[in-house]
Amino acid sequence: MLSIFPGMWFGKGMAEMRIRAFLAGAVLALAAVLPAGAKERLVFMTDWMPQAEHGGFYQALATGLYEERGLEVVLRPGGVGMDPQTLLAAGAVDGAMGSSGFFVLNLAEVGAPVVTVAALFQKDPTILMSHPRDDVKSLADMKGKPIMIGDPSVNTVWRWLKSRYGFEDRQIRKYSFNIAPFLIDKSAIQQGYATSEPYTATKAGVTPQVFLLADNGFLSYSAMIMLRRDIVEKRPEVARAFVEASIEGWYSYLHGDPSPANDLIRRANPEMDQATLDYARARMVEYGIVDSGDADRLGIGAMTEARWQAFTDEMKGLGLYPAGLDWRQAVDFRFVNQAHGKEIRP
């Protein structure tokens, strides 16, 4: 059984946003599968309208991976005006997609009853991009030059850029998430996502230079699975079923036939076209957004204590969080790092 539900609107958190709407149901019995006859409903919010960056979740739904594990999953799309962190912390949804490590630290800081159980993107897709130009061949070359930055990034990613590359606030120009100013100004530099803005620019006749922050020292995970603490503690079999089916969905979406997920995405988001989906999926593979780094050895969804500690320490050093903040209060490793689903990858 499969159906698409109308999305709930929810806005940006400290990093970004999104989400959609869906469901599925059934039964099965295996090690990490729910008991026969069980049918557990789980509402999971993504961080924007349906797109390729959510492809693994839609693939798991479309191909029955959640259903096989006894789950009835509702994928709820996000959009402008709602905050997934707040909704999850308030118990309005069972889980949400965390777009950045800042989401996790924010929730840990306020003691929210939320646990991060998987990091599906080993690399945060955030980029800076410029027109082709001889004086900009690295992030370091952007020092002193005007850069268009969105308001949500000024106190997060921008502070990291200032610390790592010596950028200054006087370089900031407002980015209103409209690419038109970038297109007409050949000296422009702006932030974006590796899977999105470069494609929009290319379609408009500008093939940009792309600089992925993750390939230049930015340690944040992305596309994290965040669940209510009571689910993780009292119904760990539900958490494991959702995490492992989602991991299988991501392997299938990136290395198999993505059409089941893409069909659902286009139905849920009629403004999404196939060319955009193809571009985003190709960039996720090209940049190793999902299965690179620790995921090569530990499987998609991998997280490590060392990386969480390094990211937290760096953000504390920037003054973004108090010295006593403990990321361990908001992260649970028990459902990942077991190379689950790796046999799916060719």
Q: Using 50, 70 and 90 to split pLDDT, how confident is the model at 12? A: very low
Is pLDDT of 31 > 70? no
User: What is the DSSP-derived secondary structure letter of residue 6?
Assistant: P
Q: Which residue has the higher pLDDT, 227 or 8?
A: 227
Contact (CB, 8 A) for 265 and 55: yes
- Which has the minimum average pLDDT: 28-37, 173-182, 299-308? 28-37
Output the pLDDT for position 78. Answer: 85
Q: Using 50, 70 and 90 to split pLDDT, how confident is the model at 15? A: very low
CB neighbourhood size of 242 (10 A): 28
When pLDDT is averaged across residues 126-145 and rounded to a whole number, the result is: 98
Contact (CB, 8 A) for 45 and 98: no
* 269 closest CA partner among 86, 7, 1, 3: 7
Is pLDDT of 54 > 90? yes
Burial class (CB in 10 A: 0-12, 13-18, 19+), 178: exposed
Q: Using 50, 70 and 90 to split pLDDT, how confident is the model at 6? A: very low
Query: Which tokens sit at 309?
Result: 């500690």
Contact (CB, 8 A) for 126 and 158: no
- Which has the minimum average pLDDT: 2-6, 226-230, 269-273, 339-343? 2-6
Output the pLDDT for position 19. Answer: 28
- Whole-number Å distance between alpha carbons of 312 and 105: 8
Q: What percent of the chain has pLDDT over 90?
A: 84
What are the tens digits of pLDDT across the range 70-125?
999 999 998 777 778 889 999 999 999 999 999 999 999 999 999 999 999 999 99
Q: Which residue has the higher pLDDT, 132 or 23?
A: 132
- The residues with which 212 forms a beta bridge, in sequence order, are 127
What are the tens digits of pLDDT across the range 308-343?
999 999 999 999 999 999 999 999 999 999 999 999
When pLDDT is averaged across residues 22-41 and rounded to a whole number, the result is: 46
Is pLDDT of 1 > 60? no
Q: Which domains does the chain have, with CATH numbers?
A: 2-123+220-344 (3.40.190.10), 126-216 (3.40.190.120)
Output the pLDDT for position 218. Answer: 98
* 54 closest CA partner among 4, 113, 99: 99
- Whole-number Å distance between alpha carbons of 167 and 130: 16
What are the tens digits of pLDDT across the range 277-308?
999 999 999 999 999 999 999 999 999 999 99
When pLDDT is averaged across residues 182-204 and rounded to a whole number, the result is: 97
* 335 closest CA partner among 286, 290, 300, 287: 300
DSSP count for the chain of H helices, then E strands:
13, 13
Query: What phi and psi values does residue 184 have, to the nearest 5 degrees?
Result: -90, -10
Q: Which residue has the higher pLDDT, 5 or 151?
A: 151
Q: Residue 223: which residues within 8 A CB-CB, separation 6 or more?
A: 53, 97, 98, 99, 119, 120, 121, 290
Burial class (CB in 10 A: 0-12, 13-18, 19+), 163: middle
Q: Using 50, 70 and 90 to split pLDDT, how confident is the model at 65? A: very high
DSSP string over 90-102: TTSSSEEEE-SHH
Q: Rounded mean pLDDT of the chain?
A: 89
Secondary structure of residue 306 in the 3-state scheme: helix
Output the pLDDT for position 346. Answer: 81
Q: Using 50, 70 and 90 to split pLDDT, how confident is the model at 10? A: very low
Output the pLDDT for position 39. Answer: 80
Q: Using 50, 70 and 90 to split pLDDT, how confident is the model at 38? A: low
Is pLDDT of 22 > 70? no
Contact (CB, 8 A) for 217 and 310: no
